[in-house]
Every structure is written in C-alpha cells, then in structure tokens.
A and B are shown apart, each in its own frame.
Chain A
C-alpha cells in the first residue's frame, strides 16, 4: 500500500468536503441547539480531566456556547456501565456522543444501534472497532516504535532496559508495546531485564520502578508509557549519581527533568511523546463541523499527530499558552503530573491553560475552522477495525531514524 497516494487521495476528498462545509456554513445561522453528551470512563487522573475540560471549554466558546447543550457522564471503568450510559444518551435523543471508550469492542453493539438512530459517535484517544463510529486518536501514529528507536539510539544499540507498561490487557498498551518490541527485537544487544505495569499512573510507576531498580540497579535505560514522571522520581530517589536515558509520555514533570541541565550532565536523556489530551478538542470540533456545517469526513479513523519533544527541544513557556515553540510550563505553574499536550495551534487554537485546568473558555476566543484535510489512520486490527489487515509498514518510523545498526 502506498501511504503517500492514500494521503493525497484523502486530501482531495477532504478539500472538496471542506468547500461544501464552507458553503453550508454560509447559510443563515439557525437557532437549533445540539444535544451533545460527553461520556467519560473515569475521572481522577490529570489526563482524563484535562481532555474533558478541553471539550467543556470548547462547548462554551462562542458561537458554540449558544448552540451546544453539553452533558457530562462519568461511568467508571466498567464496560457495562458505559453501555448503559450510551443507552440513556441515545434514548434522550442525543445528536452526538463524544467519548473516551473503555473497551475497543465491548461497546460496538450499542454504538451500532445509536448510529442507526442518527447519533454521531466520536471517540477520542481510545478507539472502538465499530465502523460507524469515528475514532480520533494518536494511537496508530507509532508512539511505541519511535520512542523505542530513540532509546536504542541513546544507548548505542546495547544495554539493559525496563519496559514500564500501561494497563494489562488494554489494546493501547498492546499496540505501544508491540511497536516497541518490533524495534527492540532487531537489536540483540538490548536486554529487557524487567517489565512491569505502571497503570499509566505516576505513583504506581514510581513504586514499580523502585522495585525494579532494587533488583536491577545496573539498568541502562527505561522505555515508559504514561507514568514516566514516576520512573524519573524513582531514579532520583535512589540517590544514584549516574542517570540513564528514559523515554516517556507528556507529563510536565518529565519534560522539566529532561530539560534540567544537572540531570542531563548526570546522563538523563530521552524523548517526551505519546497521548495528547488536545485530541478530545479536535474530536469535538470535527463532530460539531459535521453537525453544524454538514462536513463530510473521508474516513472514520482520523489520526492525531504524534507529539515529539526530545530533551533538546524542551522549551519553557513564559505565559499560559504554547507560543513561539515553547512546550513546557515552569515548575510550580502546573503539577508535575499535568499532561502538557493540551494545545495544538492549528487544530485547537481556542484553548488556554485555564481551559485545560478548569474547563472555562478562553476570554475573547471564538471557534476557528479546522483545516480542510484530515490524516487517515492506518487500519490496525483490534484498535480501529475488526477484520482488517494492517499495512505492511505499520511500524514505520516517522519521528526518528536509527543511528545505530543492529
């Protein structure tokens, strides 16, 4: 399959759709309000509440503030609970449901029924395999393989490493780890000496990393999913002088550590990548453009660009936005666990730090139109499609190239 050709095809289709959309939006403003439901699996970690806050802030930003009737439902990590939440939303006559789904397959039947009743389903970050739903996610963008290659490069192709994984059995953890293993397996000099589940929580990751460090103090690097700030804290808590390369996701604490000159001198290197809460805002705006402007999307699986911030690119923001290429907040402005990727200048320029932390609209901001094109996500079985074949180059490196050969 030719990636470029698909991309240019989509580009054309999307451009046409965009024109149609623009024409539609010129129609006189209608007084219709849209019933939108925000269905969360659980609240309680920084990522989930930031993502939800972004949706809430956008729904309160003009002109959507007058058009959207947004209701939030938190149903917990139980599939059954989210199914019944969806059922009630469909019964209540929802125009659209924007959701973080707890299971890629368990919700399919309910979603299918909702689609048949004309409900739009937009999933952010986590995905479902039901074809009528729209998935907006970075998951297929290659977090695992790219960070693994970055770590291998830092280690010069050999060394003992830990895998700090997410939640056991979760499809996202599986996709990330498979991508990473695709790279690590190429290098016989890379030895995985411990593999543990940090549950995407800083605190659990810190405790698990501390245990692993007690058994393997001679580890050379850590490949981590979300929770990486805990891995850093566990490393620092050992009191060791020599630090090691760590790759992880987007917590502010991790980025601050990467940029810390003293830690760098002691050997901390790495890259911050992974799941951006801004995806929720992008998904919400796409859904609203479909509802309001009758925008047509050329695909149901939309890929969100993978954030990629190596240690050398960490730049502190003086204000409340990502401006002039800054991507991290100074210490004390936000908690270490704050997930920095809440801004995206082209997709969600309406968002400020205030929106992400409190769900309030940015004063003076109005909703800006999205670009006319979307990136199609590659078919990934169990992630965004049920009976499909992944492209041969699923684990193609996009952010980093090997600097060492196996």
Chain B
C-alpha cells in the first residue's frame, strides 16, 4: 500500500462517527467481538431449534395429529424455501445492506428452471448451474449498484426487483411455460432415510452456509466489513469485492429457492416469490442477525425459518378468521424479536457455560 492510499483510507475512516460503534454496543476489538458474538449466535441457533421442537410437541393440544413426525416433516419441507432465501439475505445484512429483490429473483429462477429444464434429465446438469449463475449475476448487479454507484441498498435492490419482475413478465408473456421436472419433484416426494430428500439437502446447505461464514477467510472478512466498513478498508480488506460477492450470493440463493419451488409446486408462476421477501428478512433477524450488519450466523437464520414456519402451521390450525391469523402471525414475529434478543442468548450462554468461560467473559458480564 503506498502512502497516499493509506492516507485515503484513514480519511475514509474519519468520516465514520465514533459514536456509531458505541451505539451498537460491540466491543471495540473486532476479533474479541467476533469470539463473543459467535457464542451468542450459536446459542441463538440452539435456542431456536429447541423452541421449535417444544412448540411442535406442545401443539398437540391444538390438534391431536400435531406433535408427530408428519408435522415435523411438513414444517421442514415448507421452511426450506425461507431457509434458502434467508441465507443470501443474511449475507447481505451482514454487510449492512438489505436485499429487497429476493422475491423477483426467486421468481426469475423458477420461471427459467420451468422453461429451460423441463422434464429433461440431462438439462438438469447444465440448467441448474446456468440458472444459479444468472441469478447470481443479477445479485452482482445489485452489488455493483450499491458498491460502485453508491445507490442505497434499499433503493438499488427494490429497483432491481421491479426490473427483474418486468423481465420475467416479458420473458413469459404472462404465462410461464414449461414442464415440471420429475427429478426436482422427487426432492419433495421421494424418500431418503425416511424423509423427503429436500430436508437432507437443506441440512447440508445449512452446514455449508455456516462453514462459509465461520470457516473461510471470506466469511470472517464479511463480518469485519459489516462491523465497521471503514476499519475493514483500512485493514486492507477488499470491501467492495466482498460486498459485491454478498449480493451475488443472495441472488444465487434466491435462484436456488426458485428452483426448489418448481420442484415443490411442479410449475412456475409470476407470483411464486412474493411470499418470501419479508420472511427471508424475518428469519434472518429472528435468527439473531443484527440488522445493522456484522453479526449473525446462518444456523440461527435456519432456526428462524423453522420457528416462523412452525408458528404459521400452528396458527393455520387454530381455525380462526383470516384477519386474526395475520395479526397473530405479525404479533408472534414481533414477540419473537423482542424476546429473543442478544441479552437472552447471552444469559443462556452464561448460565450454561459459566464454569468453562474464560475470565474476560465474566468481566463483560459485569459491564
């Protein structure tokens, strides 16, 4: 790095008010924050999975058929779309952004899959990568707009969503045409180890996603970018490239959700992504992702997706009027956000791991 570049980076850092960091309540040392945050994030995920399991068991008194494996399977299958979209959404939120083009990109992915792959088996081999690459490219365009053109993420992705929806409408002329893919449908109707294969797929996806975040340089750098972009920039991280990649991943994961939806519904419609925009954000946030960026773990977002789907399944079995159902669902999300705050997880974490905590953590407790 030449001296003028260092000076430029330092100047960029000064434009960030120091109070911003204090307000988020994070420790000033990024590595320390990451370590402490990781414990919290893991506990978030564990708490959400446990809560989901308890809810499923407790729902038996709502319907005697609830509380069994059939219900758990149905919830796992239905939550897979939210879980996949939440991955990209979380990656973008980690950088401090937000992706509002999820619904349209998912629709685009579904429409292309339905049109191109069809009933053909060999087409899966080139079709799925092609759809993923194209949807990732749409995401990368979002990233370019945010990083290079400095359009606020909210506006950039909203506009991109509208453009992509228009493109899908134009591409299909209103009616998506194609054929359902037996191989994709088998993900939902087949059985491997006694469950639909899609459940195993999501489990692998969740593991890989979490690994990408924790086990790779890319993942850890992304947290650094989200925690303090200026500091990350000074530290020599390729902030722009990292942010752009996060948006590309979001596009690709939305595309994957579209592919899965074609398998589930056996077809594509221009509204197929509509129901997943807000749940993708809600799952990430309920799953412990800070909307300010820099903290959150994919495992938590998967837990969030499971919890939200469980709630909606139970609410739909209550047999109450539609208006009340929607109010209840909204209230439950709000309640989950209020209750499942970092403080709670930190408390659970401390209560469970007290004996093995290093001394500096107990100092944090008193702070």
Contacting residue for B269 out of A46, A195, A239, A253, CB 8 A: A46
What 8 A-B pairs come out closest when comparing CB atoms? A49-B174, A44-B270, A215-B317, A214-B74, A215-B63, A203-B265, A43-B174, A214-B71
Establish whether residues B266 and A239, one from each chain, have CB atoms under 8 Å apart when the complex forms: no
Is A336 part of the contact surface with B, judged by Cβ < 8 Å? yes
Minimum CB–CB distance from B174 to chain A (whole Å) comes to: 3
Minimum CB–CB distance from A323 to chain B (whole Å) comes to: 22
Contacting residue for A214 out of B180, B264, B275, B313, CB 8 A: B313
10 contacts between A and B (CB under 8 A): A43-B169, A44-B270, A202-B269, A203-B272, A211-B313, A212-B317, A214-B74, A215-B62, A238-B74, A253-B266
* Contacting residues, chain A, for B71 (C-beta < 8 A): 214-215
* Contacting residues, chain A, for B29 (C-beta < 8 A): none
* Contacting residues, chain B, for A211 (C-beta < 8 A): 74, 78, 312-313, 316-317
* Contacting residues, chain A, for B362 (C-beta < 8 A): none
* Contacting residues, chain B, for A203 (C-beta < 8 A): 261, 264-265, 267, 269, 271-272
Query: How many residues of chain A have a CB within 8 Å of chain B?
Result: 47
Q: Which A residue's beta carbon lies closest to that of B81?
A: A207
Secondary structure at the B interface, as helix, strand, loop or mixed, is loop
CA distance A194 to B267 in the complex (A): 26
Establish whether residues A49 and B173, one from each chain, have CB atoms under 8 Å apart when the complex forms: yes
Establish whether residues B266 and A201, one from each chain, have CB atoms under 8 Å apart when the complex forms: no
Minimum CB–CB distance from A257 to chain B (whole Å) comes to: 11
Known: A45-B271, A208-B316, A214-B71. Contact between A197 and B65, CB under 8 A?
no
Is A213 part of the contact surface with B, judged by Cβ < 8 Å? yes
CA distance A235 to B180 in the complex (A): 17
Q: Which B residues are closer than 8 A to A by beta carbons?
A: 62-63, 65-66, 70-71, 74-75, 77-78, 114, 119, 169, 173-180, 188-189, 191, 196, 261, 264-272, 275, 312-313, 316-317, 319, 322-323
Q: Which A residue's beta carbon lies closest to that of B115?
A: A335
Establish whether residues A45 and B189, one from each chain, have CB atoms under 8 Å apart when the complex forms: no
* Contacting residues, chain A, for B66 (C-beta < 8 A): 214-215
Establish whether residues B264 and A206, one from each chain, have CB atoms under 8 Å apart when the complex forms: yes
Minimum CB–CB distance from A32 to chain B (whole Å) comes to: 30
Minimum CB–CB distance from A220 to chain B (whole Å) comes to: 14
Q: Which A residue's beta carbon lies closest to that of B268?
A: A335
Establish whether residues A215 and B176, one from each chain, have CB atoms under 8 Å apart when the complex forms: no
Q: Which of A44, A230, A334, A338 has the most CB of B within 10 A?
A: A44
Establish whether residues A337 and B264, one from each chain, have CB atoms under 8 Å apart when the complex forms: no
Known: A168-B322, A210-B74. Contact between A194 and B316, CB under 8 A?
yes
CA distance A191 to B77 in the complex (A): 28
Contacting residue for A335 out of B189, B267, B271, CB 8 A: B267
Besides the known contacts A43-B174, A202-B265, A253-B267, 12 further A-B residue pairs in the complex with CB atoms under 8 A apart: A46-B175, A46-B269, A196-B316, A197-B322, A208-B316, A211-B313, A214-B66, A217-B65, A238-B70, A238-B74, A335-B176, A335-B179
Minimum CB–CB distance from B266 to chain A (whole Å) comes to: 6
Known: A43-B174, A210-B74, A238-B70. Contact between A201 and B316, CB under 8 A?
no
Minimum CB–CB distance from A230 to chain B (whole Å) comes to: 7
Known: A45-B269, A210-B78. Contact between A215 and B316, CB under 8 A?
yes
Contacting residue for A201 out of B78, B119, B271, CB 8 A: B271
Contacting residue for A336 out of B75, B261, B266, B271, CB 8 A: B266
Is A52 part of the contact surface with B, judged by Cβ < 8 Å? yes
* Contacting residues, chain A, for B265 (C-beta < 8 A): 202-203, 206, 230, 233
* Contacting residues, chain B, for A371 (C-beta < 8 A): none
Is A357 part of the contact surface with B, judged by Cβ < 8 Å? yes
Minimum CB–CB distance from A240 to chain B (whole Å) comes to: 10
Establish whether residues B270 and A215, one from each chain, have CB atoms under 8 Å apart when the complex forms: no
Establish whether residues A337 and B174, one from each chain, have CB atoms under 8 Å apart when the complex forms: no
Establish whether residues A237 and B316, one from each chain, have CB atoms under 8 Å apart when the complex forms: no
Q: Which of B176, B177, B316 has the most CB of A within 10 A?
A: B316
Q: Which B residue's beta carbon lies closest to that of A219?
A: B65
Minimum CB–CB distance from B308 to chain A (whole Å) comes to: 13
Q: Which A residues are closer than 8 A to B by beta carbons?
A: 43-46, 48-50, 52-53, 168, 193-197, 201-204, 206-208, 210-218, 230, 233, 236-239, 253, 332, 334-338, 357-359
Minimum CB–CB distance from B306 to chain A (whole Å) comes to: 14
* Contacting residues, chain B, for A238 (C-beta < 8 A): 70, 74
CA distance A206 to B267 in the complex (A): 12
CA distance A137 to B252 in the complex (A): 43
CA distance A145 to B181 in the complex (A): 36
Establish whether residues A218 and B319, one from each chain, have CB atoms under 8 Å apart when the complex forms: no
CA distance A46 to B66 in the complex (A): 35
Minimum CB–CB distance from A273 to chain B (whole Å) comes to: 21
CA distance A52 to B173 in the complex (A): 11
Q: Which B residue's beta carbon lies closest to that of A49?
A: B174
Minimum CB–CB distance from A73 to chain B (whole Å) comes to: 14
Minimum CB–CB distance from B268 to chain A (whole Å) comes to: 8
Minimum CB–CB distance from B160 to chain A (whole Å) comes to: 18
Establish whether residues B65 and A212, one from each chain, have CB atoms under 8 Å apart when the complex forms: no
CA distance A53 to B175 in the complex (A): 10
* Contacting residues, chain B, for A358 (C-beta < 8 A): 173
Establish whether residues B74 and A335, one from each chain, have CB atoms under 8 Å apart when the complex forms: no
Known: A211-B74, A332-B119. Contact between A357 and B316, CB under 8 A?
no
* Contacting residues, chain A, for B175 (C-beta < 8 A): 46, 49-50, 53, 335, 338, 357
Minimum CB–CB distance from B187 to chain A (whole Å) comes to: 11
Q: Which of B62, B63, B119, B178 has the most CB of A within 10 A?
A: B63
Q: Which A residue's beta carbon lies closest to that of B270?
A: A44
Establish whether residues A335 and B177, one from each chain, have CB atoms under 8 Å apart when the complex forms: yes
Minimum CB–CB distance from B278 to chain A (whole Å) comes to: 15
CA distance A253 to B169 in the complex (A): 22
Minimum CB–CB distance from B130 to chain A (whole Å) comes to: 21
* Contacting residues, chain B, for A338 (C-beta < 8 A): 175
Known: A48-B174, A210-B74, A211-B78. Contact between A337 and B267, CB under 8 A?
yes
Minimum CB–CB distance from B182 to chain A (whole Å) comes to: 11
CA distance A338 to B77 in the complex (A): 25
* Contacting residues, chain B, for A43 (C-beta < 8 A): 169, 174, 270
* Contacting residues, chain B, for A194 (C-beta < 8 A): 316-317, 319
Contacting residue for B180 out of A201, A236, A336, CB 8 A: A336
CA distance A153 to B191 in the complex (A): 35
Q: Which B residue's beta carbon lies closest to that of A213?
A: B74
* Contacting residues, chain B, for A233 (C-beta < 8 A): 264-266
CA distance A50 to B275 in the complex (A): 24
Contacting residue for A195 out of B62, B75, B313, B319, CB 8 A: B319
Minimum CB–CB distance from B325 to chain A (whole Å) comes to: 9
Known: A49-B175, A236-B189, A357-B177. Contact between A337 and B269, CB under 8 A?
yes
Q: Which A residue's beta carbon lies closest to that of B176?
A: A335
Known: A215-B313, A335-B175. Contact between A44 and B65, CB under 8 A?
no
CA distance A359 to B174 in the complex (A): 11
Establish whether residues B178 and A214, one from each chain, have CB atoms under 8 Å apart when the complex forms: no
CA distance A197 to B78 in the complex (A): 17
